[in-house]
Structure 1
Amino acid sequence: MALRINDIAPDFTADTSVGPISFHDWIGDSYAILFSHPKDFTPVCTTEFGAVAQLAGEFAKRNTKVIGISVDGVTEHMAWKKDIESFAGAPATFPIIADDGLKVAKLYDMLPADAYLPDGRTPADSQTVRTTFIISPDKKVQLMLIYPMTVGRNFDEILRALDAIQAGAKNPIATPANWKPGDDVIVKTSVSTADARVKFGEVNEIFPYLRTIKAPK
């Protein structure tokens, strides 16, 4: 059955570039971003891993751990990591899961359950394994993004979405189209305008169902 928003992210144990982990234990009380790749030593994925390395401080500020996954083994990951760090000019300190047996890819519905990748497989064989998950500290899936092979992920957008998720976890608000941190936010429809004024102060009622406020501190 396909994963959906608010499902519990499946737990698993796996070898990684920093040693064995149990996924839920590794997340702990943090948010987590799991981003998957179809193969090591591929051009788009190298730029993406490099972008994550450069943004390590931004993720840390948001109490967010980042973990990559690729359908190769730890030996390949460690060799590829040198290219990633050379390209990024930054250390890639986040773990990379070794999923050469496709256990995690199937568990997270990135591949059909009966998928079998041949020896000598190419990225085209595992191209559906290009997914990003944001997972909250309660281990629930908050966001899923799936990209084609030729389109590099926009990690500024992933940070923006993470900020929006975290803002909505703290207050009964939602974020409008193209929202950025600091912009006005939307009062959830479950909150009356009167209650919103008590909680937040000034409320801009555009329509009875669309009310905006200054972003809570």
Structure 2
Amino acid sequence: MALRINDIAPNFTADTTEGKIDFHDWIGDSYAVLFSHPKDFTPVCTTEFAAAAKLAGEFAKRNTKVIGISVDEVEEHLKWKADVEKYAGTDMTFPIIADDKLEIAKLYGMLPADAYLADGRTAADTATVRTTFIINPEKKIELMLIYPMTVGRNFDEILRALDAIQNNAGKPIATPANWRPGEDVIVGLTVSTEEAKEKFGAVEEIFPYLRTVKQAS
């Protein structure tokens, strides 16, 4: 069955570049960004790991752990990590999961059950292992972004979406297109305009169903 928003992220144990982990235990009380790759030593993925490495401080400020997964063994990951760090000009402080048996890629619906690694395979054999998941501390999936091999991920958007998810958590609000922290937010449809005024102050009613307020505290 395909994963959906609000599903519990499937748990697993796996070897990583920082030792064996239980995924849910590793997340702990943090948010997590899990992003997958079809093969080590691929050009687009190298730039993506480097981008994530450079943003380590930004993720830490958001109580968010980052973890990569690639369809190769730990030994290959460690060799590739050196290239990523050279390209990024900084250390890569997050682990990479080894998924050379495709177990996690299949568990998360990124490959069909009958997928296998052919001899002499290329990244094209596992091209669909290109999903980014944002997972909350309750281990629920908040977001899924799927990219083709030829399109590098936009980590500014991943951070923006993470900010919106954290901003809206537990509040009757939503964020509009292209929202950034500090900008107006949308009042949820379950809240009347009068209730919104009591809770948030001034309400701008653009349409009866589209009402905005200043950044909710």
Q: Name the TM-score, length of structure 2 as normaliser.
A: 0.99
| Residues 101-152 of structure 1, C-alpha deviations (whole Å, 9 max, x = no match) | 0000000000001111212211000000000000011000010010001000
Query: Runs of at least 4 residues of structure 1 off by over 2 A?
Result: none
* 2:213 is equivalent to residue 213 of structure 1: yes
* Unpaired runs of at least 5, structure 1: none
Alpha-carbon distance, 1:178 to partner: 1.2
Counterpart CA distance in 2 for 1:31 and 1:195 is 31
State the match for 1:46 in structure 2.
Answer: 46
| Residues 174-213 of structure 1, C-alpha deviations (whole Å, 9 max, x = no match) | 0111111111110100111111111111111111110001
Alpha-carbon distance, 1:83 to partner: 0.4
| SS at structure 2 position matched to 1:15 | strand
| SS at structure 2 position matched to 1:197 | helix
State the match for 1:100 in structure 2.
Answer: 100
Matches within 5 A, 1:67-86: 67-86=67-86
State the match for 1:24 in structure 2.
Answer: 24
- RMSD of aligned alpha carbons: 0.7
| Residues 84-111 of structure 1, C-alpha deviations (whole Å, 9 max, x = no match) | 0000011101010000000000000000
Of residues 164-173 and 12-21 in structure 1, the stretch that sits farther from structure 2 once superposed is 164-173
Matches within 5 A, 1:52-131: 52-131=52-131
| Residues 60-104 of structure 1, C-alpha deviations (whole Å, 9 max, x = no match) | 000000000000000000000000000001110101000000000
Alpha-carbon distance, 1:170 to partner: 4.0
* 2:192 is equivalent to residue 192 of structure 1: yes
* Unpaired runs of at least 5, structure 2: none
Q: Name the TM-score, length of structure 1 as normaliser.
A: 0.99
